Amino acid sequence: MSNPIQPVRGMNDILPEQIVLWQHLEQVARGVLEAYGYEELRVPIIEHTELFKRSIGEYTDIVEKEMYTFQDLGGDSLTLRPEATAGIVRAAISNGLLRGQRHKLWCSGPMFRHERPQKGRYRQFYQIDVEAIGYAGPDVDAELIALSARLWRELKLDGVRLTINSLGTPASRLSYRERLIAYFRAQEQALDEDSRRRLLGNPLRILDSKNPEMRELIEAAPLLTDFLDEESRLHFDALRSALDSLGIPYTLNPRLVRGLDYYSRTVFEWVTDELGAQDAVCSGGRYDGLVVQLGGEATPAIGFALGVERVVALLQQAGNAPAARRPDVYLVVSGERAEREALRLAERLRDALPGRGVWLNLGGGNFKTQFRRADRSGARIALILGDEELERGVAGVKTLRGVGGQIDCPLALLPERIAALL
């Protein structure tokens, strides 16, 4: 035997027992999103590298060191998407969706970032990504947050908390940027290598540093909130009073700058204490400048993405797993003729009982083995078809849960009898 091939580090297999939780989340999310008028779209997993450089920003962790970038056989530089917003905005522009129109869109699927894997942080991870493109807010900002709050309620997750901030307009950020450069330059010897490089390129990213040695310096840095322009302040005030009137509690976090460059004004994160270091389960914000940056007409927009693995972990910890799907009927078979007939009988039952789970015993086995399999499957009813039953035109019907013996039932009446028992 040759050595088994290992999975790629940071990339997970999602096995059937976990899929139940994934499907539950997807189903609840789809229901909530549709109720708020969001439409699903699907965009490619691979885009031109340039798309992410122009949107996420050259001086971000993602673009500087986390992208899966490669040259394809035609010599183009392509990248596995590290997030979905850039691709969705690109798709809206490419397909002419934005000509005088606005769209509420959502998309789900895998994203790729070459981060250091740990609990809750993977190199392939899934997001449910929600975007409202063409909406200036602040009403949509509040509604998006209400939508996410509803998701937590429907998923029965009460341990997630909302933090919000406003990043202002690019103009107000520019004056803040100058102030920040002056502040960090005065302390240049205390900066780590990453921060020194970012000082001129993108000093706001220094605030994002995860290096504990930088914490004190960052905490004493000037606050963006003090540089907000009047319009952004009004926008933010309106969002806050909408959240108050909706009864959605939040904390203001003036240090929340987010790891992607396209944001302006509203940014927010839903965080939890229950997952350790990777505490953000859902995050997003407004990106009014991105459509223009990617070659479209000026279009305001806002969105968020939910980290599926992290929300699934919360569901698991909370014990909010729905029961796994069990078959309704398990068909036990014995004898050559019966085996041939059983495939057809199972198909007839599936026709007659749409939506019901009918599992046929496959691969033979004596009665004891087959009944063990039937029991393990969780089926409510076992049907027994042997050559002898076939001869008489009946099947044995046995309830596997609760009391009740075995009775014979004419084959033609089986659907009725089964329906009555379920």
- Amino acid identity of residue 182, one-letter, is A
CB 404 to ligand HAM: min, Å: 48
Residue showing the smallest CB distance to ligand HAM in the complex: 307
Is 261 a residue that touches ligand HAM (CB under 6 A)?
A: no
Q: Report in angstroms the alpha-carbon separations of 188 from 23, 59, 182, 185.
A: 50, 18, 10, 5
Segment lying near ligand HAM (by CB under 6 A), choices 69-77, 80-88, 89-97, 248-256: 80-88
Answer for the pair 169, 260: CB distance below 8 angstroms, yes or no: no
Segment lying near ligand HAM (by CB under 6 A), choices 29-37, 139-147, 155-163, 305-313: 305-313
Contacting residue, 55, 60, 127, 195, with ligand HAM by CB under 6 A: 127
Is 280 a residue that touches ligand HAM (CB under 6 A)?
A: yes
DSSP letters along 13-58, please?
A: ---HHHHHHHHHHHHHHHHHHHHTT-EE----SEEEHHHHHHHH-T
Answer for the pair 144, 300: CB distance below 8 angstroms, yes or no: no
Is 305 a residue that touches ligand HAM (CB under 6 A)?
A: yes
* Integer Cα distance of 197 and 146 in angstroms: 39
Is 281 a residue that touches ligand HAM (CB under 6 A)?
A: yes
Give the residue among 255, 301, 302 at the shortest CA–CA distance from 283. 302
Three-class secondary structure of residue 191 per DSSP:
coil
Three-class secondary structure of residue 345 per DSSP:
helix
Q: Report in angstroms the alpha-carbon separations of 13 from 124, 164, 308, 309, 338.
A: 10, 34, 14, 12, 39
Is 279 a residue that touches ligand HAM (CB under 6 A)?
A: no
Is 310 a residue that touches ligand HAM (CB under 6 A)?
A: yes
Is 57 a residue that touches ligand HAM (CB under 6 A)?
A: no
Answer for the pair 331, 345: CB distance below 8 angstroms, yes or no: yes
Nearer to ligand HAM, 263 or 371 (CB): 263
CB 301 to ligand HAM: min, Å: 8
Is 307 a residue that touches ligand HAM (CB under 6 A)?
A: yes
CB 63 to ligand HAM: min, Å: 12
Contacting residue, 284, 289, 300, 386, with ligand HAM by CB under 6 A: 284
Nearer to ligand HAM, 152 or 330 (CB): 152
CB 210 to ligand HAM: min, Å: 13
Residues 83-122 that bind ligand HAM (CB under 6 A): 83-85, 113, 115, 120-122
Answer for the pair 142, 242: CB distance below 8 angstroms, yes or no: yes
* Integer Cα distance of 395 and 410 in angstroms: 7
Is 283 a residue that touches ligand HAM (CB under 6 A)?
A: yes
CB 78 to ligand HAM: min, Å: 19
Give the residue among 120, 132, 61 at the shortest CA–CA distance from 280. 120
CA-based Rg of the chain, rounded to a whole angstrom? 28
Is 282 a residue that touches ligand HAM (CB under 6 A)?
A: yes
Segment lying near ligand HAM (by CB under 6 A), choices 141-149, 301-309, 375-383, 388-396: 301-309
Query: Could you tell me the two tokens for 286?
Result: 């407004």
Segment lying near ligand HAM (by CB under 6 A), choices 82-90, 178-186, 248-256, 388-396: 82-90
Check residue 138 and report its DSSP letter.
Answer: S
Contacting residue, 87, 134, 137, 285, with ligand HAM by CB under 6 A: 285
CB 341 to ligand HAM: min, Å: 50
* Integer Cα distance of 199 and 162 in angstroms: 30
CB 364 to ligand HAM: min, Å: 44
Three-class secondary structure of residue 188 per DSSP:
helix
CB 225 to ligand HAM: min, Å: 20
Contacting residue, 47, 61, 129, 194, with ligand HAM by CB under 6 A: 129
* Integer Cα distance of 347 and 331 in angstroms: 11
- Amino acid identity of residue 185, one-letter, is R
DSSP letters along 367-421, please?
A: HHHHHHHHHHHT-SEEEEEEHHHHHHTEEEEEE-SSS--EEEEEGGGHHHHHHHH
- What is the CA 162 to chain-centroid distance, rounded? 18
Nearer to ligand HAM, 130 or 358 (CB): 130
Q: Return residues touching ligand HAM (CB under 6 A).
A: 83-85, 113, 115, 120-122, 125, 127, 129, 131, 259-260, 280-285, 287, 303-305, 307, 309-310
